[in-house]
Structure 1
Amino acid sequence: MTRPSAAHLIAFLLPATLLAGVWGAQLLGGLYPCEMCHWQRWPHYAALVLAGLGFFVPAGRGRTALVVLAALAIGVSGAIGVAHAGVEYGWWPGFTACTSTIDFTGLDPSQRLAAIMRAPLIRCDRAPWTLAGISLAGFNAILSLGGAITILVLMMRRTTR
């Protein structure tokens, strides 16, 4: 096996780091995700799998394809982050209703109603945390789109040499 390229490492480490950050914020910081937050995670999971598979594929077209697909998945997450940040900042209306953290498994209707009334609603149009006015969705947009562009530029440089 040949050594992974910088683009390949970024394609693996960027979604791994972003997912670790949001899971840490959720599990340790109590910042529960809304539905649009979950939408941003799925492409990162896909990118992580694609880039991870690239470590087991010999260098060449197969690995290149996996890294490019991972970059595209990261870019999709960034695009969803733009949409979500726009909803949070009030630039456009949201695409979804608010979500909750309720598990209805095994609950009868009266227990479901009681659970709904106790559970916090996680609104897609309110940022639960910001840094310098940038929400987690905004940071995902910046880092994911920047990372996807960086990966693709590095991949193009490799193929033109």
Structure 2
Amino acid sequence: MTTLTSRQLILAATLFSVVSSLGAWGFQALGYEPCQLCYTQRYPHYAAVVIGALALATGWHRLAWAGALAALATSAVGFYHSGVERKWWPGPASCSGGGDISGLSPEDLLAQLTATDFVPCDEIPWRLSDAIPWQGLDITMANLNAVGALVAAFVWIAAARRA
């Protein structure tokens, strides 16, 4: 059995973040507008790509610990977003409704609603079952990111331990 090197593991984990980012941009190009939590999940992926590129270019494979933190951060936001989508807990008021509108006139409320492009975080725009018709396959983009990034974090950790 061949043991993967730290460099190979860093490359794999970095490519996961590249593919995740390209996938998110692809869905956005297809008309799936991201919510605030979707954008928040992207930032650690961008950091992981930079960290991976630096580690590969410089040979400082101990940077993989920072890659693991980035992957854990996006995974944590993905799990949080998954719970918001399932209505297990409330999301941020800025993208899940809420907020106090009791003092607003109807005109002010209408102006506030039309002034921003509101994309709710607590609605599921796409499910894997939309693409693969299989009963009970209720997996969302946030779910895929949460689990995938958690696996990537373990890959980063393995790379850091081998550095």
TM-score, normalization by structure 1: 0.77
Higher mean C-alpha deviation, range 121-130 or range 66-75: 66-75
Could you tell me which residue of structure 2 aligns to residue 33 of structure 1? 34
Moved over 4 A (4+): none
Partner-residue secondary structure (3-state), 1:32: coil
Measured at CA, do residues 65 and 96 of structure 1 come closer, stay the same or move farther in structure 2, by a change above 3 Å? Answer: farther
- Between the two proteins, the alignment pairs up a number of residues equal to 139
- Identity among equivalent positions (%) equals 34
Q: Name the residue aligned to 1:109.
A: none
Q: Which residue of 2 aligns with 1:91?
A: 88
Unaligned runs of 5+ in 1: 100-111
Query: CA shift at 1:120, angstroms?
Result: 5.1
1:75–1:148: 8 Å Cα contact kept in structure 2?
Answer: yes
Preserved contact between residue 7 and residue 67 of structure 1 (Cα < 8 Å): no
2:9 is aligned, of 7, 10, 14, to: 7
Of Structure 1 and Structure 2, the greater strand share is in: 1
Amino acid at match of 1:12: T
Shift of 1:150: 2.6
- Tell me how far apart the structure 2 counterparts of residues 49 and 153 of structure 1 sit (CA, whole Å): 18
Distance in 2 (CA, whole Å) between partners of 1:38 and 1:64 is 28
What amino acid is aligned across from residue 82 of structure 1 in structure 2? Answer: F
**Within 5 A, what are the aligned runs for 1:1-161?**
5-27=7-29, 29-58=30-59, 63-98=60-95, 113=111, 116-117=113-114, 121-131=118-128, 132-156=137-161, 158=162
Residues 150/56 of structure 1: CA separation in 2 closer, same or farther (3 Å cut)? closer
Higher deviation after alignment, 64-73 or 35-44: 64-73
Please say if residues 4 and 55 of structure 1, whose CA atoms lie closer than 8 Å, have aligned partners that are also in contact. no
1:30 match: secondary structure: coil
CA deviation profile, 1:40-59 (whole Å, cap 9, x unmatched): 0111111111111112203x
CA drift of 1:11 comes to 2.4
- Aligned partners of 1:155, 1:117: CA distance in 2, in Å? 48
* TM-score scaled by length of structure 2: 0.76
Q: Distance in 2 between matches of 1:34 and 1:45?
A: 17
8 Å CA contact 1:14, 1:147 repeated in 2? yes
- Could you say which residue in structure 2 is the equivalent of 1:102? none
CA contact (8 A) 2:21 2:45 kept: yes
